[in-house]
């Protein structure tokens, strides 16, 4: 967002950067439901290690 020189114009429940991360994660994990993708994002780097093993 900063590289594009864009910022949020309104305050929302979720910041724009979180929504961007969620949309990208939905693309990567298209077979997963919204809740599962949210859980994967919330857990963060712990899952990254698990993916590297697989």
Q: What is the pLDDT of residue 23?
A: 94
pLDDT confidence of residue 53: 55
**50 falls within a domain:** no
**Owning domain of residue 21:** 16-44
Give dist(CA 43, CA 38) in Å, integer.
9
Asked whether residue 20 is assigned to any structural domain, the reply reads: yes
Which is more confident, 2 or 15? Answer: 15
Report which DSSP code applies to 54: -
Number of domains in the chain: 1
The predicted structure's pLDDT at residue 4: 76
Is-contact 24 8, C-beta < 8 A? no
Q: Flag whether pLDDT at 10 surpasses 80.
A: no
Query: Domain for residue 49, yes or no?
Result: no
- The pLDDT, as a whole number, for residue 15 is 83
Q: Residue written as tokens 């994990």? A: 29
21 against 51, higher pLDDT: 21
Global model pTM greater than 0.75: no
């Amino acid at each position: 967002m900063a590289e594009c020189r864009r910022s949020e114009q309104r305050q929302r429940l979720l910041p724009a950067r979180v929504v961007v991360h969620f949309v990208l994660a939905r693309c990567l994990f298209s077979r997963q439901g919204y809740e599962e993708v949210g859980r994967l994002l919330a857990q963060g780097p712990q899952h990254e290690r698990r993916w590297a093993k697989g």
